Structure 1
Amino acid sequence: MIPRIIRHGLFALGASLALQATSHAADLKIGFVNPAKVSSGAPQADAARRKLEEEFAPRDREIVSMQEELRKLEERMQDAELNQSEAERQSLQRDILSLRRDIQRTQDAFREDFNMRRNEELGELQRRILQTVSEYAKEQDYDLVVSDGVIYASDAVNITDRIIERLRREFERNQNGR
């Protein structure tokens, strides 16, 4: 058993440390950033989406064209059942199967390439957001900025809109500087 005087001394030391920690905690500046809101509100996200659309539009048009060609072949196949020989129908059927395979391969390659590029663009956007949050936190003397995993954050610590505004200004500067 611990002597009474030591227990009181330990209690006093613990209380003193707790009060010190509380006074230091009161001096901390803490902020919260909602990453989903920043990602959707940042103009860089819209620019990345437009860039991907422009980059992949020709390939998308190619797939649509191939699908239209397939539709026409299938219509010819229906007509061929009445008007063409067995050899002509089989040839048309082979053409249809071949085109379906080509379309499937083209769509698979398109999806794979699009997903890879989208991930690259999202990664770049996330790096930009993290850098902006870090710069903002240092400039505004934040001790801690948190994001995912937060159950509640009051408006007093939520700096999400300020981060989005900073990203907008940066985007505008970059657009005007071109």
Structure 2
Amino acid sequence: MKQWMKAAGLSLVILSSSFYAQAAEAAQKVGYVATSQAMAQLAQRYNVPEKLRNEFKDRIAELRGIEGSMKTKVEKMKRDGELMSSSEKTKLQREMQSLESNYKLKAQALQEDQRRRGAEEEQKLVQKIRQAIQDVAKREGYDIVVDANAVLYASPKDDLSSKVISAVK
């Protein structure tokens, strides 16, 4: 009976070690992608900065026009200020203050809209990159794909960056 118990115990040890060996053998295939590099290249490919510039060019031109008006009024005040009556000076100063407050308000709204639209475009690129990573990982048989910034060392053969960039539609 003792031999039988020893044999059963030994077989349990062998069986459990084979499970661990199979688990180690079935280790997941891990790849990595330089997402920041992919984002930069794809932003250039899709010409995101130019697209945003074109979208806001009218508002930027309007702000430049206000700047020009402000500059003209400041020059007029410097040049003719001493010759102007106090009511003319007051009127010019109020116009300058009105232009300045209008400029600040429009500039702040423009910056906020540009930031929001930039984030929207970035989010679109992120979604495209995620989809491409999933497609490449499935096609290449990778179980896990991580960002290259999180990897201390990995084999260059597991770098999926170029494949992901070319897979983005």
Q: Do both proteins adopt the same fold according to a TM-score greater than 0.5, normalized to the shorter chain?
A: yes
Whether the 8 Å contact between 2:43 and 2:49 is mirrored in structure 1 is no
Larger radius of gyration: 2
SS of match in other structure, 1:146: strand
Q: Which residue of 2 aligns with 1:21?
A: 23
CA distance in 2, matches of 1:7, 1:86: 107
Range that drifts further, 132-141 or 45-54: 45-54
What is the CA deviation profile of residues 70-120 of structure 1, one whole-angstrom value per residue up to 9, with x for unaligned ones? 111111111232211111111100000110000000001101111111111
Tell me if 1:70 matches 2:70. yes
Whether the 8 Å contact between 1:67 and 1:103 is mirrored in structure 2 is yes
- How far off its partner does 1:64 sit? 1.2
Q: 1:43 and 1:98, CA in 2 relative to 1: closer, same or farther beyond 3 A?
A: closer
Q: Which residue of 1 aligns with 2:102?
A: 102
SS of match in other structure, 2:159: coil
Q: Which residue of 2 aligns with 1:173?
A: none
Question: What amino acid is aligned across from residue 16 of structure 1 in structure 2?
Answer: S
Range that drifts further, 12-21 or 144-153: 12-21
TM-score of the two chains, using structure 1 as the length reference: 0.80
Unaligned runs of 5+ in 1: 171-178
Q: Which residue of 1 aligns with 2:3?
A: none
Q: Which residue of 1 aligns with 2:60?
A: 60
Identity of aligned residues (%): 28
Q: 1:35 and 1:76, CA in 2 relative to 1: closer, same or farther beyond 3 A?
A: same
Question: What amino acid is aligned across from residue 56 of structure 1 in structure 2?
Answer: F
CA distance in 2, matches of 1:119, 1:163: 21
What is the CA deviation profile of residues 113-167 of structure 1, one whole-angstrom value per residue up to 9, with x for unaligned ones? 1111111111111111111111111122222211253333331211101111223
CA distance in 2, matches of 1:138, 1:47: 29
Whether the 8 Å contact between 1:44 and 1:125 is mirrored in structure 2 is no
Range that drifts further, 135-144 or 6-15: 6-15
Range that drifts further, 115-124 or 40-49: 40-49
